[in-house]
Amino acid sequence: LGGGGAMGESAYSFSLTTFSPSGKLVQIEHALNAVNQGHTSLGIKALDGVVIATEKKLPTTLVDGSTVQKTSLITEQCGLVYSGMGPDSRVLARKARKAAQAYWQLYHEPIPVAQLVREVATVMQEFTQSGGVRPFGVSLLVAGYDRGGPQLYQVDPSGTYFAWKASAIGKNMNNAKDFLEKRYNEEMELEDAIHTALLTLKEGFEGALDEHNVELGVVGRDRAFRVLTPAEVADYLQEVDM
């Protein structure tokens, strides 16, 4: 596997991600820097569902925000959000969707969230050990609901993945995680989690948080992942301000 999709002979049959004498893979460290410069995203797992949220800061007011969607639906039951390089996230979302469909075609069963995460993480790891490619410049938060209940996973550029009760990635991740640690409790329900997610994003947000600069993705017991409409987000924001 190599060439990152380019067919035929590549002059780069060697990996660009190589060890430093201290045992680090410097390219992965740099990739994590790219993630940490990206817009903040977070996820919270509740008793009856998962919510993932991301800042949607557009570079100028000239951009048609209504066409921008940072949350990707992968299967009916699960979706993901990212921090870091948008185009890299699109590539991974595409590969994740394909992996999910291949699973469906073989087993006629929706792919369990953990298996999907494993496959995406495997791809990300391969790009740290293949010829002529660079690691992905994103961390992903994957939210889904399957027979194992609600689940939230984080996948990093190295291909490491963890299941989380609540997590944040991107620019404001440290403050956000501190906030989440205080606010999170195991008995939380989805509605509470959505409020907490908005409050957490609000903490580190420059300016006013409104339904146009935040995106919320939720999946509940109905096992149907969806991105909330701006109107729904506005309602939640109102509840949070009260």
**In the complex, minimum distance from the CB of residue 214 to another protein, in angstroms, rounded to a whole number:** 35
Q: Is 2 among the residues that bind another protein (CB under 8 A)?
A: no
Applying CB under 8 A, among 10, 36, 115, 175 the residue interacting with another protein is: 115
Q: Is 122 among the residues that bind another protein (CB under 8 A)?
A: no
- Site of tokens 């404001």: 172
**In the complex, minimum distance from the CB of residue 123 to another protein, in angstroms, rounded to a whole number:** 16
Tokens representing 80 are 């993901």
Give the amino acid at 149.
Answer: G
Beta strands in the chain (DSSP E): 41-46, 49-55, 72-73, 78-84, 138-146, 149-155, 161-163, 166-169, 214-220, 226-227
# chain residues binding another protein, by CB under 8 A: 9
Q: Is 112 among the residues that bind another protein (CB under 8 A)?
A: yes
Q: Is 118 among the residues that bind another protein (CB under 8 A)?
A: yes
Q: Is 61 among the residues that bind another protein (CB under 8 A)?
A: no
Burial label for 31, CB within 10 Å (0-12, 13-18, 19+), is buried
User: For residues 236 and 188, what is the distance between their CA atoms, to the nearest angstrom?
Assistant: 16
Q: Is 163 among the residues that bind another protein (CB under 8 A)?
A: no
Subset of 16-35 contacting another protein (CB under 8 A): none
Nearer of residues 7 and 107 to another protein, judged by Cβ? 107
The piece of 17-25, 92-100, 103-111, 137-145 that touches another protein (CB under 8 A) is 103-111
Nearer of residues 24 and 221 to another protein, judged by Cβ? 221
Q: Is 129 among the residues that bind another protein (CB under 8 A)?
A: no
Residue 154 pairs with which residues in a beta bridge? 141, 162
Which of helix, strand or coil describes residue 56?
coil
CA dist 196 → 94, 114, 229 (Å): 30, 25, 18
- Report CA torsion sign: 29, 176, 91, 58: negative
The piece of 29-37, 105-113, 137-145, 225-233 that touches another protein (CB under 8 A) is 105-113
User: For residues 212 and 170, what is the distance between their CA atoms, to the nearest angstrom?
Assistant: 19
Q: Is 106 among the residues that bind another protein (CB under 8 A)?
A: yes
Q: Is 147 among the residues that bind another protein (CB under 8 A)?
A: yes
Nearer of residues 120 and 216 to another protein, judged by Cβ? 120
Contacts to another protein by CB under 8 A: 105-109, 112, 115, 118, 147
